[in-house]
Amino acid sequence: MKRLINDPYDVVEEMLEGYVLAHKDYVTLITEGEAQGRVVLSKTAKKKDKVGVIIGGGSGHEPLFLGYVGKGFADAAVVGNINTSPSPDPCYATAKAVNTGKGCIYLYGNYAGDVMNFDMGAEKADEEDGIRVETVTVTDDVISSENIEDRRGIAGMFFVFKSASAKADLGGDLDEVVAAAQKCNSVTRTMGVAMSSATLPSKGGPIFEMEDGDMEIGMGIHGEPGVRRGKIEPADRVVDQIMEPILADLPFAKGDEVYVLVNSLGATPILDLHICFRRVAQILKEKGITIYKSLVGSFASSMDMAGMSVTLVRLDDELKELLDYPCDAPYFTQV
């Protein structure tokens, strides 16, 4: 394992300690009470009378979730152990910390553990404090299931978080923020490829075995096995295999306008990502689909996994407005 850590049992706490020191102008850590030191709170939270936007999930996907806590973006992130949902009390504490009386929204990837814990947090917020909390789970990974509601959430979470956060900052009520998140989720599609396993600090080695030189199409960001394993192929050929299921799924059609994200899972260089992006752009041009804007970088990782994913979001005027809305968070700022 080539990782810079101390005791594997301390990785999350030590990361959070460093994170709030490094980004002290943006965030603080709630250490007391039910938050259990697992809530990253924006310094702008509750500064405005608006719906509270709460994102969260397991650690090991940085800059996801905590990197998107800031002005005009999420108000707080709930932080779990590596690849593991946070527990109910920190989810509950976060709702209390960001609620201005307009209610809150939980946004996270669609995983069984996250659903159980966040739901218990929401129930507690309702029962003990009368805070209304609504939930939208992100389901952008096209290959993870035939049924959209069973799909898991991966890099496309970024866009859903961004849309809902902008809607809340613009003064939308809770129903409108939920609708914005659902709308963005319904037109966001992602698929990835992995070429190595992430290493688990607790194990001191890879989560799963992968022959050097192999790739796995469709692998999830926790290393959940994908649909097909084979030898690594040239970038264009890999992108072709990813783009085909994405385009066919929504489906994206001639005349559509899209936001594109080519995302590194951790270890794939920016050089490679742009080679992949170039192919994505070629395919979209052939299909008559216009690229509105693009992001290329690491937005949702799996620690040191080699691999990348492509996300497309089909846009309309409302989604453009929300995704273009200014925000300032440690890992995403736009004016």
Partner 1 sequence: MSEYILNKDYFIKVIEDLAVLAEEKKDYFSELDSAIGDGDHGMNLSIGFREVSKNLDSWKSEDISTLFKNVGTALLDKVGGASGPLYGGFFMKFGLPVKGKEEVTFDEFIEMMETGVAIIEKRGKAKVGDKTMVDTLRPAVDALKAAYVDEKLAPKEAMKKAAEVGSAGSDSTIPIIAKKGRAMRLGERAIGHRDPGSASSTAILAIFYNNMP
- If you write DSSP's letter for every residue of 14-29 in order, what string do you get? HHHHHHHHHTTTTEEE
Q: How far is the CB of 154 from partner 1 (least distance, A)?
A: 12
Q: Is 200 in the site for partner 1 (CB under 8 A)?
A: yes
**Considering only 98-106, 116-124, 154-162, 320-328, which stretch makes contact with partner 1 by CB under 8 A?**
116-124
Binder among 13, 37, 43, 81 for partner 1 (CB under 8 A): 81
- Given the residues 96, 222, 279, 314, the one annotated as active site: 222
Q: Is 266 in the site for partner 1 (CB under 8 A)?
A: no
d(CA 313, CA 177) in angstroms, rounded, equals 18
Q: Is 249 in the site for partner 1 (CB under 8 A)?
A: no
Omega within 30 of 0 (cis) for the link into 63 = yes
For residue 224, the one-letter residue type is E
- Phi/psi at 105 (5° precision): -125, 135
CB 242 within 8 A of CB 233: no
Q: Is 152 in the site for partner 1 (CB under 8 A)?
A: yes
Q: How far is the CB of 47 from partner 1 (least distance, A)?
A: 29
Binder among 3, 48, 203, 237 for partner 1 (CB under 8 A): 203
Q: Counting Cβ atoms within 10 Å, is residue 127 exposed (0-12), middle (13-18) or buried (19+)?
A: exposed
Q: Which two tokens stand for residue 55?
A: 């994102």
Q: Does 23 participate in catalysis according to the annotation?
A: no
Q: Is 36 in the site for partner 1 (CB under 8 A)?
A: yes
Q: Which of 176, 169, 159 lies closest to 75 in space, CA to CA?
A: 169
Q: How far is the CB of 144 from partner 1 (least distance, A)?
A: 5
Binder among 31, 182, 202, 290 for partner 1 (CB under 8 A): 202
Of 37 and 235, nearer to partner 1 (C-beta) is: 37
Q: Is 144 in the site for partner 1 (CB under 8 A)?
A: yes
Q: Which two tokens stand for residue 308?
A: 């990348």
Q: Which of 283, 310, 317 lies closest to 295 in space, CA to CA?
A: 310
For residue 310, the one-letter residue type is V
Total chain residues near partner 1 (CB under 8 A): 34
For binding to partner 1 (CB under 8 A), which residues are involved?
9, 36, 58, 80-89, 111-113, 116-117, 120, 144-145, 150-152, 200, 202-203, 207-208, 220, 222-225
